[in-house]
Amino acid sequence: MSVTAAQGFVAAGIAAGLKESGALDMALVQNLGPLRSAAAVFTSNRCTANPIIWSRQAIVDGSIEAIVLNSGGANCYTGAFGFQTTHQTAEQVGARLGVSSGDVLVCSTGLIGTGDQSFRDRLLAGVDIAAPALTADGGPNAARAIMTTDSHPKQAAVTSPSGWVIGGMAKGAGMLAPGLATMLVVITTDADVSSAQLDTALRSATRVTFDRLDSDGCMSTNDQVTIMASGASGVVPDSAEFEAAVTSICADLAQQLQGDAEGASHDITIETIRAATEDEAVDVGRAVSRSNLFKAAVFGNDPNWGRVLAAVGTTEAQFDPFDIDVTINGVRVCSSGQPDQPSESIDLTPRAVHVLIDLKVGASTATILTNDLTHDYVHENSAYAT
């Protein structure tokens, strides 16, 4: 159930002093091989953190030996000094593990603009603590070390009957909106797969999982989803089974991120059906997922379906505005441009909320995961930096 579930991986989670609380704040994961295949997807935000700039280059050859991740500072918009900090961090990992710094990925998360000399010193000293702490059961500590406002670590694993394993860890909580990747995620497998196969599987998986998690509409500057294969099982997987397993891990972690999003009291699943195209189904779901008014209504246990339609109407998807059905938790509250069943019968007190939008024009479907807009969200995000 962790990044060390698969054979050939060791990990550590240690306290580098980046978090004032003294909690774990640095994770290191090493691939012991025999393969070093890897692939990664990155935030599509054009304002990117230094670790993203570094890692985008390091992944190009498809070979990665280790990944180091820190919470407690994003090292984003910290200038040339911040980039050197990322570079030196990779160098430090390379030196301690006896690998090339060009085969080391770096991820950072925390406050943008954080990355001064003290931050660098702690990062480098942290690597010296983490490297000798690497163990085959270090996954859970690593998962804990990448948490920011997460209330608990997120991990998942799938074991194939064919003898290979995929494990993963994720952190999310805030700035959860897609741009390919949407959070820090590390997935490991002992299957014998090439970096090209990993890339195909990862992009296919993130497209329908992390890319469809839109908790608060805000896209991060630091997000990265990485997958690494050691090949240690010696098993070449069936590619369809492998892709399905990667998607399953990503879906599991995405749901865990949704379930622990900052301040959320409801997990809202927005399913758009019978759209003309999948992209249009995504657009419709995403528009609803970004309606503060609808999300605040759900927080208040109010099935305010008018706010769903008001959001759908802002899209350019094909539909007849007066022939859309909206169903909330199984109760069709709107059909044919008017109220249908009374919304009073909907019980929104459970955490899970299901919104079904039937566009009635085509055969495409997409599901977006989001959360409600709560007092706790406002509180956490008004008090985060200070």
Residue 297 within binding range of its own copies, rule CB under 8 A: yes
Please check if 182 is assigned to a binding site: yes
Q: Which of 4, 30, 37, 48 binds its own copies (CB under 8 A)?
A: 48
How far is 76 from 68, CA to CA, in rounded Å? 16
Q: Which is nearer to its own copies, 98 or 316 (CB)?
A: 316
Residue 179 within binding range of its own copies, rule CB under 8 A: yes
Q: Which is nearer to its own copies, 62 or 306 (CB)?
A: 306
Q: Which of 47, 60, 95, 196 binds its own copies (CB under 8 A)?
A: 47
Which among 295, 336, 331 is positioned nearest to 319, based on CA atoms? 336
Residue 361 within binding range of its own copies, rule CB under 8 A: no
Cβ-based neighbours of 315, under 8 Å, separated by 6 or more: 280, 283, 284, 287
Residue 386 within binding range of its own copies, rule CB under 8 A: yes
Q: Is 114 a catalytic residue?
A: no
Q: Which of 27, 76, 281, 328 binds its own copies (CB under 8 A)?
A: 76
Which DSSP letter does residue 109 get? B
Q: Which of 184, 205, 307, 357 binds its own copies (CB under 8 A)?
A: 307
Closest distance to its own copies from the beta carbon of 223 (Å): 11
Alpha carbon 62 to its chain's center: 21
How far is 352 from 150, CA to CA, in rounded Å? 19
Per-residue contact flags (x/-) with its own copies for residues 106 to 145, judged by CB under 8 A? -----xxx--------------------------------
Window contacting its own copies (CB under 8 A); options: 6-14, 197-205, 248-256, 290-298: 290-298
Burial of 33 (0-12, 13-18, 19+ CB in 10 A): middle
Please check if 360 is assigned to a binding site: no
Q: Which of 21, 57, 151, 382 binds its own copies (CB under 8 A)?
A: 382
- Helices 50-58 + 79-97 axis angle, to 10: 50
Q: Which residue among the candidates 4, 86, 182, 315 is catalytic per the annotation? A: 182
Please check if 209 is assigned to a binding site: no
Residue 370 within binding range of its own copies, rule CB under 8 A: no
Question: Quick check: 183 and 143 in contact, CB under 8 A?
Answer: no
Tokens 């014998």 sit on residue? 192
Residue 345 within binding range of its own copies, rule CB under 8 A: no
Q: Which of residues 202-221 bind its own copies (CB under 8 A)?
A: 216-221
Q: How many helices (H) and strands (E) does the chain have?
A: 10, 15
Question: Quick check: 56 and 95 in contact, CB under 8 A?
Answer: no
111-135: b (≥16 Cβ within 10 Å) or e: ebebbeeebbebbbebbebbbebbe
Q: Which of 81, 259, 276, 367 binds its own copies (CB under 8 A)?
A: 81
Alpha carbon 318 to its chain's center: 30
Residue 272 within binding range of its own copies, rule CB under 8 A: no
Which DSSP letter does residue 348 get? -
Cα distances (angstroms) measured from residue 222 to each of 56, 110, 112, 209: 12, 9, 9, 18
Q: Which of 77, 128, 133, 241 binds its own copies (CB under 8 A)?
A: 77
Residue 337 within binding range of its own copies, rule CB under 8 A: yes
Tokens 């019968």 sit on residue? 345
Residue 351 within binding range of its own copies, rule CB under 8 A: no
Please check if 75 is assigned to a binding site: no
Which among 124, 191, 146, 186 is positioned nearest to 164, based on CA atoms? 191
Residue 7 within binding range of its own copies, rule CB under 8 A: no
Q: Which is nearer to its own copies, 11 or 288 (CB)?
A: 288
Residue 45 within binding range of its own copies, rule CB under 8 A: yes
Residue 239 within binding range of its own copies, rule CB under 8 A: no
How far is 113 from 122, CA to CA, in rounded Å? 16
Please check if 295 is assigned to a binding site: no
Footprint of its own copies (CB under 8 A): 45-48, 74, 76-82, 111-113, 174-175, 179, 216-221, 290-293, 296-297, 299-300, 302, 304-307, 309-315, 321, 324, 334, 336-339, 373-375, 377-386
Residues annotated within the binding site for substrate are 148, 171, 182, 262, 381, 386
Kindly list the catalytic residues.
182
